Amino acid sequence: MSYSIAKCDSGITLLGLTNFDAAQIFDCGQCFRFNAVSDGTSDIAGIARGRYLRVHTDGQSVSLVGACEDDFHSLWETFLSLDTDYAAVDDEITSAFDTILGREDEVIRRAIKRGSGIRILRQQPWEALISFIISQNNNIPRIKKIISALCEAYGEPIDTPDGVMHTFPTPDAIAGAGVDGIFALKTGFRAKYIIDAANRVLCGECDLDALAKPSVSAEDSAAQLMKINGVGPKVAACVNLFGLSKISAFPVDVWIKRVLARHYPEGLDYTRIGRYAGIAQQYLFYNERWE
C-alpha cells in the first residue's frame, strides 16, 4: 500500500494516494449512484453495497466521510480498487498497445494521462447487471435518473448527512414490482429485461456469485449473462468489468467504436491487450468523451 491512513472527525483520510480522482472515477460511465454534492464543495456522495459514502478531496489527501478504518479495509478499499497499483497497470497497458501495433501508441498514452485518476470500482454484480440493462440506448444523465427512481421506489431508505438515500432494490423487490411497475419508472422496453433478470437470479438460473469467481473466465461468464433477455455482448462485458471484477473484459459501445474508427483505422486487436483490457477501455472511453 503506497498511502497511509489517518483518522479524521468525519471519517478517515488517505494520505499520499496517487492515481485517484473521484470526479473521473464517478463520471466515466461505470457507476450511476454517486453525484456531486450541492453544498459548494467538490465532494461526491452516494450509496454502494448498501452503505453511504462521501468522498472529499483536498490537495494530496482524500477523505472518506462516513467510513472508519475497519470498514475501509473490509469494504471501501476493495470497492474503490485501492489495492491495485495503477502505475504498474498503466505501464503494462502501454506496453501491450505498443506490441499490438508495432509502434509507440500516442493515443493510449494521451488517454492514460487524461484519465490518470480512474479506477475500476468493484460494484455488486446484481446492481451492475440491472444498471447496464438500463444503460442500453441511453445517456448517462437519463440512466442516473431511472436508477434513482428505481431505488426510491423499491430500495430501502437510508438517513445520511446528505439527506435520505436508498439502497439498490433486491431481486425480490424488483420481481415483485412486475413489468408494469418497472415500466412506470420510464424504463421503456428495458422493463421486461429487468424483470427477466430478476426472475433468473431468484430461481438460480443466473448465479452471479458463481460467475464472479476468478475461476470463471470472462467468456464463460458472458455466455451465461447473455441467456438473460436483452443482455447482449456489450451489456455482458460491462457486467463482467464493473460487477464481476473481470477486468480483461473490453465493452464495445458507440464511443469505443468511434475510438477504433478514428484512432485505429488500421485495426486494433483488443483481445490481445491482456488482463487490463477493461481499464484500457475506460481510459479510451473517458478520453473520447473529452476530446
- Reduced to 3 states (helix: H, G, I; strand: E, B; else coil), residue 52 is strand
* Grid-cell match 437470479, residue found: 201
Classify residue 92 by burial, with Cβ atoms within 10 Å: 0-12, 13-18, 19+.
middle
C-alpha to C-alpha distance for 24 and 21, rounded to whole angstroms:
5
**For residue 222, what is its C-alpha cell?**
458472458
Instruction: Say how far residue 203 (Cα) sits from the centre of its chain.
Output: 26
C-alpha dist (Å) from residue 29 to 5, 42, 138, 213: 28, 19, 11, 24
Which among 192, 234, 246, 257 is annotated as catalytic? 234
234: annotated active-site residue: yes
Short-list 174, 81, 177, 176, CA closest to 133: 174
* Grid-cell match 498514452, residue found: 109
C-alpha dist (Å) from residue 85 to 91, 120, 182, 201: 10, 12, 40, 33
C-alpha to C-alpha distance for 62 and 167, rounded to whole angstroms:
24
A 10 A CB-CB count for 81 gives 20
Backbone phi, psi, residue 4, to 5°: -115, 160
Q: Is the separation of the CB atoms in 29 and 285 below 8 Å?
A: yes
Short-list 72, 45, 70, 71, CA closest to 56: 45
Active site residues: 234
